[in-house]
A and B are shown apart, each in its own frame.
Chain A
Amino acid sequence: MTLPAGVRERRVRTGGVELCVAELGDPSGPTVVLVHGYPDSKEVWSEVASRLADHFHVVLYDVRGHGRSTAPRPLRGGFTLEKLTDDFLAVADAVSPDRPVHLVGHDWGSVQAWEFTTVRRTEGRIASFTSMSGPSLDHFGHWINKRVRRPTPRRVGQLLGQGAKSWYVYLLQTPVLPELAWRGPLGTYWPRILERLEKVPGGGYPTSSLPTDAAHGVWLYRDNVRTRLRRPRTDAYAHAPVQLITPLGDAFLSENLFDDLEHWVPQLARRTIPARHWVPRSRPDQLAAWISQFVTSVEGGRPDAVKATGKYADRFGGQLVLVTGAGSGIGRATAFAFAEAGARVVAVDRDAEAAVRTAELSRLLGAPEAWAETVDVSDEQAMEKLAEKVAAEYGVVDVLVNNAGIGLSGSFFDTAPKDWKKVLDINLWGVIHGCRLFGKQMADRAQGGHIVNTASAAAYQPSKALPAYSTSKAAVLMLSECLRAELAGQGIGVTAVCPGFVNTNITSTARFAGVDAAEEKRLQKRTARLYGLRNYPPEKVADAILRAVARNEAVVPVTPEARGAHLMSRFTPRVLRAIARLEPPL
């Protein structure tokens, strides 16, 4: 059994069945009730429950007919949503008689919990509800009706898409066969199927009761789906705040299912997560964080405490984002964009004052927490220390942005070895250290993540004026592509961003090889002015970075010239080579 030590068990009798209820954590704290789905038992929550137990009174129970709860006799008609609601009320009364509970449901647990949250007789017993991968059957019925009655091409597409994803629901309606399959080969192979297709890590899950759970649970579908979808309730309005967590890679539910949810839920907070269906197993850290945050804000009387306003607030809210070179330019704008989306930000820069400033403004923009760290990314030991500190104090980084970089211009023969060393140390080794240390932490945690490396349009646009810089950025581009291939199996995405000419202070810190100090000053000023005339703001690059992470894109050229050069590098490389020979207008 995979539930953590210190778990207290009790039996609750209700409506002819006996439910097995497990409790963790301090009973005087807010009560969080976790309801499992199909084909599961309460053990699906073990990872999440142990993380929540530090702050809350966590309650899990086996739904009737599952795990160590007894099954109703006869099975037919014993699994209606009304009876499941009776069970929930009995459990809630037993574990938290005088305070409403916070509900969390996954899959069929969420389907049930939607029923609990939308019927009148539970009013005052539910403080909040966090739903994942399970719609209300009533909302679902209305969703289908709306699309059948007024079919537009898009609506028909959505209908067909969800219809195809629901294939197993039709199979489960056939008599006897599903039970035979579960008690036979399917029950044996299921753990392997989960690991292969759904990327669910092993470790005591699923439990040995799986064949019986799955065979009994078939009646959840047979007793409810057809009746509810045919005649959905028209008063299925939620009477508690709801947090909806949508896994983007769910093979059984389409995202569009929840499009009209605002109509049914007055206080709705949305979250999205790039993962497959079994998020309680594959992303326990993120779920526990979001549940804690939501429960805490509801307890504090502020269910809409998610004050982040950014476009991707549902995706990055509460995540830990580390940005190097965050003291200025693209790095700073990226830190701000993540802060606006509600992420926790670690701003790393070698300029302490600038990093502190970024962290300060990030908090103003909506980051729940933001820290400044002063580190030179080319310093291996300093980076190792930083990685240790971040892991120990702030947690494992969810999104890493390796952005720190410097410019170096000048012909190949004017570029001295020490100039080469400096550019490669910062632009390439900085990225390597970042990926090596923080990427390792991500991979070890095995709960996904994303790495963004700032390359440059110079990575594919050769130029006689930028040999060292272009070489370093081309290396970053290839490193990103290789790493992307290596980490793809672990749910970690890698993106190379190629901005182009962006108006930042890289121009005034760039080195110009082979000229004296006065001439270098003049050239810096001149480039700064040219970049100023181009005036492409770093904020747009930051937006592109967030979009790239949300969509898991591989290579992202940003400015029009960067995109043009990217296209040309594929189709007309000779033109690029001709451009490479031009003298820059300095």
Chain B
Amino acid sequence: MTTAAGELTAELRGFRKVQRLAYECAEAVAAQLKPGVTEREAARMQRTWLRERGVRDWFHLPFAWFGDRTAFVNFRVPLQFFPTDRPLEPGMPFILDMAPLYEGCTADIGYSGSLGVNPVQNRLMDDLEAHRELILREVRERRPLREIYEDVDRLMARQGYANRHRAYPFGVIAHKVDRVPERRWSPHVFGFGTRSLKGLAADALHGHREGWSPLWSPYRFSDHPPQPGLWAVEPHLGFRGTGAKFEEILVVTDSADPEQSAFWLDDDLPHVRRWAEDK
């Protein structure tokens, strides 16, 4: 999928473009957050920002979580993921999560931060780096996804954190994203774009016949080696009322060269830059 010089194909460039756009949006919205802004307002800010730049459809509508909702404390039903009227306070952690579609390509990103200094959130962000490295390494080794999931779990436990991606539907740490045809009418149900859901459902059916799944979960249906394609990977750490995650696209190919068999779509993202600066 990449050329010898490491250049991305046109298709991957499209995905990278929308992923960068989404992260730009997250940074722009995060910069505007101030005490008193509610989750709903933060979600609307993301939506408006992206719509102004040509986004018409979504894999899912933007989410925003503040305070202990970043760690999904006491989440029991999926409706609790939707933004609430909780206002942001100084020192509070927050997560912005959005999945825009742009020119037929999907991005699904997660951006964690805090309003002012929050040492715990800071620490969680630092510790996410090990997870990004672990996932890439084990995908390159072609380990079954379920086992990689368990290794991520073990690393979290060793770090002293709880696995919060477990709270997502099906407990997924990642899911496949794909091209989605652009249509004039693009409805969404429960915050998810129907066209993307249709793609995911088609993948699920397809995978079911071949023994793989577009959802990377702790369950038996994920007991297969990484399936080529684009995976939006979102390890989510929780630590007593504070949560942090990143989410970005991992490209998996069927290349025999380990370097080419799996790689992160983009290494120029806020959290990666942050780790590079700390070194």
Contact = CB atoms under 8 A, between A and B. Distances in A.
Given A364-B123, A532-B218, A354 B158 contact: yes
Most buried by B among A328, A332, A361, A508: A361
A394 B159 CA distance: 26
A539 interface: yes
Contacts of A357: 158-160
A572 interface: no
A368 to B, nearest CB: 14
Interface in B147-170: 154, 157-160, 162, 166
B158 A539 contact: no
B223 to A, nearest CB: 12
A321 B154 CA distance: 27
Quick one: which of B120, B159, B160 has the most chain A CB within 10 A? B160
Contact of B240 (A336, A354, A508): A336
Contacts of A532: 218
A18 to B, nearest CB: 53
Contact of B120 (A332, A364, A537): A364
B119 interface: yes
Nearest to A354: B158
B73 to A, nearest CB: 10
A340 B120 CA distance: 12
Given A336-B240, A340-B240, A539-B240, A361 B158 contact: no
A332 B123 contact: no
Nearest to B119: A364
B49 interface: no
Contacts of B162: 537, 539
A188 interface: no
Interface string B256-269: 00000000000000
A504 to B, nearest CB: 8
A505 interface: yes
A354 B160 CA distance: 9
Given A361-B123, A364-B123, A328 B157 contact: yes
B218 A332 contact: no
Nearest to A351: B158
A332 B162 CA distance: 12
Contacts of B218: 532
Interface in A330-362: 332, 336, 340, 354, 357-358, 361
Nearest to B162: A537
Interface string B226-268: 0000000000000110000000000000000000000000000
A365 B239 CA distance: 10
Taking each of B159, B218, B240, which has the highest tally of chain A beta carbons within 10 Å of its own beta carbon?
Answer: B240
Nearest to A332: B160
Given A340-B240, A532-B218, A539-B240, A361 B160 contact: yes
Contacts of B123: 361, 364
Nearest to B123: A364
A482 B65 CA distance: 49
Interface residues of A, number: 16
B239 to A, nearest CB: 7
Interface in A186-215: none
Contacts of A361: 123, 160, 239
A contact face: mostly helix, strand, loop, or mixed? helix
Contacts of B160: 332, 336, 357-358, 361
B157 A505 contact: yes
A151 B159 CA distance: 53
B171 to A, nearest CB: 10
Contacts of A336: 160, 240
Nearest to A538: B162
A365 B120 contact: yes
A361 B159 CA distance: 9
B157, B162, B218 interface centre (most CB from chain A within 10 Å):
B157
Nearest to B147: A525
A535 B157 CA distance: 13
Nearest to A533: B218
Nearest to B122: A364
A505 B123 CA distance: 23
Interface in A343-389: 354, 357-358, 361, 364-365
Contacts of A537: 162
A505 B159 CA distance: 13
A307 to B, nearest CB: 10
A537 B72 CA distance: 14
A365 B240 contact: yes
Interface string B202-222: 000000000000000010000
Contacts of A328: 157-158
A354 B159 CA distance: 8
A357 B157 CA distance: 11
Contacts of A358: 160
A62 to B, nearest CB: 47
A532 B240 CA distance: 19
Interface string B102-123: 0000000000000000011001
A209 B157 CA distance: 62
A539 B239 CA distance: 10
Nearest to A337: B240
Nearest to A309: B241
Nearest to A353: B158
Contacts of B239: 361
A364 B157 CA distance: 17
B26 to A, nearest CB: 25
Contacts of B159: 357
A33 B166 CA distance: 55
Interface string A430-452: 00000000000000000000000
A172 B232 CA distance: 77
Contacts of A340: 240
A537 B162 CA distance: 9
A503 to B, nearest CB: 9
A354 B154 CA distance: 13
A508 B120 CA distance: 28
A357 B239 CA distance: 13
Interface in B23-73: none
Contacts of B157: 328, 505
Contacts of A332: 160
B149 to A, nearest CB: 11
Nearest to B166: A535
Contacts of A539: 162, 240
A154 B239 CA distance: 38
A365 B218 CA distance: 30
Interface in B69-95: none
B220 to A, nearest CB: 10
Contacts of B166: 535
Interface string A38-76: 000000000000000000000000000000000000000
Nearest to A525: B150
A369 to B, nearest CB: 16
B248 to A, nearest CB: 26
Interface string A520-541: 0000000000001001010100
Q: Which 3 A-B pairs have the closest CB atoms?
A: A361-B160, A364-B120, A364-B119
19 contacts: A328-B157, A332-B160, A336-B160, A336-B240, A340-B240, A357-B158, A357-B159, A357-B160, A361-B123, A361-B160, A361-B239, A364-B119, A364-B120, A365-B240, A505-B154, A508-B154, A532-B218, A535-B166, A539-B240
Interface of A: 328, 332, 336, 340, 354, 357-358, 361, 364-365, 505, 508, 532, 535, 537, 539
Given A364-B119, A364-B123, 19 more contacts: A328-B157, A328-B158, A336-B240, A354-B158, A357-B158, A357-B159, A357-B160, A358-B160, A361-B123, A361-B160, A361-B239, A364-B120, A365-B240, A505-B154, A508-B154, A535-B166, A537-B162, A539-B162, A539-B240
